[in-house]
């Protein structure tokens, strides 16, 4: 449901296909390489399994607060427990600013200019609609009407975090921020590395959309991550008032205890300090969908020179009510961030970014082997590099249109890079990613 499968779908403007035999050879070599990487990167969770009784008590108290009593629990084949929680019992409504919040069932308007599906798109969708795209759908049981599926947090999930305070948060990046003068205003430092595209910061923006293919990049050490997402931003990057709404897919062994790519969301209204969190790990995001679990694993994922699987995410501001809605696929509403959560974003966004981010913790004094995207550089193109396609933004009239004039940035193009293009079919799009450590990125 919602996922669009591009069966070797190929952008009309990508480079012509190489000789078939050469391609096949490259394919097998790639498989061998991938094996080697997987085998050498068995993550060590052991040292995160010991803790004091006092800490355990604090953890279980916190979990009691965030895991709401379910109407029904569904067990996913990957070990996740998906709790079906009554819509009006969800954690979001514990937020002090949402005491009298009335859940908005539907946005008052979708953005105008949503593409009418072409016939072949529709066919592809039909083919895939039968398929599960989140691992837990394989269970076969659905959440009952009036409930929302929520991935249950476990003691182990919290114990892998640096502290209870850090659980579910992008680790306080603020302390070592170095504001870059060469724009965009990304929060660099603390080993966070990016390959991103971004809009100019002078416009008022009310949303953004993109279609992103999903991979399973390998992660070198447990507290690193690799993610691919869009950011909707407002506020200052060198102050404490940055507002950000984020969504995409991520691999985070620390957060989830495995290396699967998962659908995620994030928000903050104070530069990643006290407010906000991933997914539904704190009060804030209000879920309305009974079929999509935020934080659940995505399956299947794209394979090198094989089938490409992508997800489409749209986030926009309800022009009448002011809440920031998220939809998945063509039109499936997931839920919304209430306007009350924000300061600057209560009004509008000033910048949108799309792309990848990894943490490089330089274990043993070397650049990390953690991959971004598919683990291949942008130059490798379709089927090999990861992509964001049909980049769009929503303007002050709630019109959705192809974004013009993006800039790109990667801190170290020998480790991860990005290349943007334009075509009729894919609009504004880019390839991005990389292997991390290699002879040019020691």
Tell me which residues are annotated as active site: 246, 357
**Residue 218 C-beta: closest distance to ligand NAG, Å:** 16
Query: DSSP labels for 308-360?
Result: EEEEEEEEEE-TTT--EEEEETTTEEEEEE-GGG-SGGGT-BSEEEEEEEEE-
Is residue 397 a contact point for ligand NAG (CB under 6 A)? yes
10 Å CB burial of residue 371 (0-12, 13-18, 19+) is buried
Partners of 277 in beta bridges: 267
Give the up-direction half-sphere exposure of residue 17: CA atoms within 13 A in the CB hemisphere: 12
Q: Residue 357: which of 346, 368, 371 has the closest Cα?
A: 371
Q: How far is the CB of 142 from ligand NAG (least distance, A)?
A: 11
Give the nearer residue to ligand NAG in terms of CB position, either 91 or 394. Answer: 394
Give the residue carrying structure tokens 């996913």.
76
Structure tokens given for 221: 């050490």
CA distances from 206 to 106, 159, 212, 395 (A): 17, 38, 20, 6
Q: How many residues in the chain? A: 442
Stretch that binds ligand NAG, among 73-81, 226-234, 236-244, 419-427 (CB under 6 A): 73-81
**Nearest distance, CB of residue 140 and ligand NAG, angstroms:** 6
- Using CB under 6 A, which of the segments 134-142, 173-181, 252-260, 271-279 binds ligand NAG? 134-142
CA angle 187, 95, 91 (to 5 degrees): 95
Nearer to ligand NAG, 269 or 370 (CB): 370
Among 35, 49, 112, 127, binds ligand NAG (CB under 6 A): 112
Minimum distance between the CB of residue 75 and ligand NAG, rounded to whole angstroms?
4
Site for ligand NAG in 371-390 (CB under 6 A): none
| Kind of pairing between the strands at 386-394 and 207-213 | antiparallel
**399, 402, 414, 420: which one contacts ligand NAG (CB under 6 A)?**
399
Distance CA 93, CA 99 (A): 6
Contact 301, 261 (CB under 8 A): yes
Instruction: Tell me the window of 27-35, 93-101, 344-352, 395-403 that interacts with ligand NAG (CB under 6 A).
Output: 395-403
Please identify, using beta-carbon distances, which residue of 112 and 362 lies nearer to ligand NAG. 112
According to CB under 6 A, which one of 3, 4, 59, 74 is a site residue for ligand NAG?
A: 74
Backbone angles phi, psi at 77, to 5 degrees: -60, -25
Q: Answer whether the bond into residue 441 is a cis peptide, omega within 30°.
A: no
Q: How many residues bind ligand NAG (CB under 6 A)?
A: 14
**Upstream peptide bond of 184 is cis (omega within 30 degrees of 0):** yes
DSSP 285: P
Place of tokens 């502290």: 163
Measured from the CB atom, the residue of 187 and 394 that comes closer to ligand NAG is 394
Give the Cα separation of 127 and 21 in Å (integer).
30
Using CB under 6 A as the binding rule, the residues of this chain from 137 to 196 that contact ligand NAG are 139-141
Stretch near ligand NAG under the rule CB under 6 A, chosen from 216-224, 228-236, 393-401, 403-411: 393-401
Annotate each residue in 75-104 with x if it binds ligand NAG (CB under 6 A) or - if it does not, as one string. Answer: x-x---------------------------
- Cβ nearer to ligand NAG, comparing 343 with 399: 399
Compare residues 46 and 100 and give the one whose CB is closer to ligand NAG.
Answer: 46
Instruction: List the interface residues with ligand NAG, window 29-48 (CB under 6 A).
Output: 44, 46-47
Residues found near ligand NAG in the complex (CB under 6 A): 44, 46-47, 73-75, 77, 112, 139-141, 395, 397, 399
């Amino acid at each position: 449901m919602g996922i669009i499968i591009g069966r070797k779908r190929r952008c009309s403007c990508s480079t012509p296909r190489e000789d078939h035999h050469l391609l096949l050879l490259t394919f097998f070599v790639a498989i061998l390489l991938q094996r080697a990487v997987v085998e050498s990167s068995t993550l060590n969770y052991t040292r995160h399994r010991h803790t004091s009784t006092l800490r355990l008590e604090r953890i279980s108290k916190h979990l009691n607060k965030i895991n709401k009593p379910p109407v029904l629990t569904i067990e996913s084949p990957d070990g996740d427990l998906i709790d079906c929680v009554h819509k009006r019992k969800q954690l979001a409504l514990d937020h002090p600013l949402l005491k009298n919040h009335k859940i908005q069932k539907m946005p008052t308007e979708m953005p105008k200019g949503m593409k009418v599906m072409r016939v072949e798109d529709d066919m592809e969708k039909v083919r895939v609609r039968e398929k599960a795209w989140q691992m837990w759908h394989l269970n076969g049981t659905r959440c009952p009407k009036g409930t929302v599926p929520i991935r249950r947090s476990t003691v182990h999930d919290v114990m892998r975090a640096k502290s209870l305070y850090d659980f579910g948060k992008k680790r306080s990046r603020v302390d070592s921020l170095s504001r870059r003068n060469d724009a965009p205003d990304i929060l660099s430092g603390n080993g966070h590395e990016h390959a991103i595209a971004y809009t100019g910061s002078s416009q008022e923006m009310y949303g953004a959309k993109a279609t992103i293919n999903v991979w399973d990049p390998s992660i070198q050490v447990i507290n690193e991550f690799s993610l691919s997402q869009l950011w909707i931003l407002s506020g200052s990057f060198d102050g404490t008032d940055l507002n950000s709404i984020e969504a995409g897919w991520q691999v985070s062994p620390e957060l989830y205890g495995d290396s699967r790519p998962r659908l995620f969301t994030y928000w903050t209204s104070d530069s990643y300090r006290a407010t906000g969190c991933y997914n539904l790990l704190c009060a804030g995001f209000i879920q309305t969908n009974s079929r999509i679990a935020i934080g659940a694993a995505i399956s299947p994922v794209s394979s090198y020179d094989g089938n490409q699987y992508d997800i489409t995410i749209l986030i926009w501001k309800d022009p009448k009510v002011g809440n920031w809605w998220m939809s998945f696929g063509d039109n499936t509403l997931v839920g919304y961030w209430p306007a009350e959560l924000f300061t600057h974003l209560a009004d509008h966004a000033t910048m949108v970014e799309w792309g990848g981010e990894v943490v490089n913790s330089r274990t043993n004094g070397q650049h990390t082997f953690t991959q971004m995207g598919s683990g291949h550089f942008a130059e490798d193109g379709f089927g090999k590099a990861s992509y964001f396609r049909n980049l769009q933004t929503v303007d002050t009239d709630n019109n959705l249109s192809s974004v013009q004039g993006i800039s790109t940035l990667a801190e170290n193009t020998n480790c991860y890079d990005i290349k943007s293009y334009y075509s009729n079919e894919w609009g504004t799009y880019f390839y991005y990613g990389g292997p991390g450590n290699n002879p040019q990125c020691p």
